[in-house]
């Protein structure tokens, strides 16, 4: 799987291509052995969240043992974007080593906490 092709929707031929290019550049997919890493950079809003879920689905279909979503490059997020993190949980549950989030201090951690704040099914830590 390459960063250029994994989970990438087809290019539009009409207006709106600038927005789609921005969404694509916010999602970077790499592999690290049996792990697929999806890095979300800059802003996690609804369109980027939809692209994240699509990329996660495509990544899981390749059969890795683990999926990591890296939020360390996140600068901001919306509630709609953060909800995409919860949507990825079901996809990661199909993998032998599951789904893991990479965060540091700041917006990435805040987005993750926001995403799971109202989730009564989230495991207690």
- 76-91 pLDDT, tens digit per residue, is 999 999 999 999 999 9
CB 48 within 8 A of CB 23: yes
18 has a pLDDT exceeding 50: no
13 has a pLDDT exceeding 70: no
pTM: predicted TM-score of the whole model, two decimal places: 0.76
pLDDT, average across residues 118-123: 57
Q: How far apart are CA 124 and CA 99, in angstroms?
A: 16
pLDDT, average across residues 9-24: 44
Q: What local confidence, expressed as pLDDT, does residue 23 receive?
A: 56
pLDDT, average across residues 70-80: 96
Q: What local confidence, expressed as pLDDT, does residue 118 receive?
A: 72
What sign does the CA torsion over 80, 82, 83, 87 have? positive
Structural domains for the chain: 21-116 (3.30.750.24)
């Amino acid at each position: 799987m390459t960063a250029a092709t994994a989970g990438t929707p087809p290019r539009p031929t009409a207006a709106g291509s600038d927005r789609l290019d921005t969404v694509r550049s916010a999602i970077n997919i790499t592999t690290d052995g049996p792990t697929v890493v999806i890095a979300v950079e800059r802003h996690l809003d609804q369109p980027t969240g939809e692209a994240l879920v699509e990329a996660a689905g495509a990544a899981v279909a390749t059969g890795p043992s683990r999926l990591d979503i890296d939020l360390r490059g996140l600068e901001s997020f919306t509630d709609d974007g953060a909800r995409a993190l919860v949507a990825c949980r079901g996809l990661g549950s199909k993998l032998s080593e599951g789904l893991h989030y990479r965060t540091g201090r700041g917006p990435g951690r805040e987005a993750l906490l926001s995403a799971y704040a109202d989730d009564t099914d989230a495991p207690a830590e």
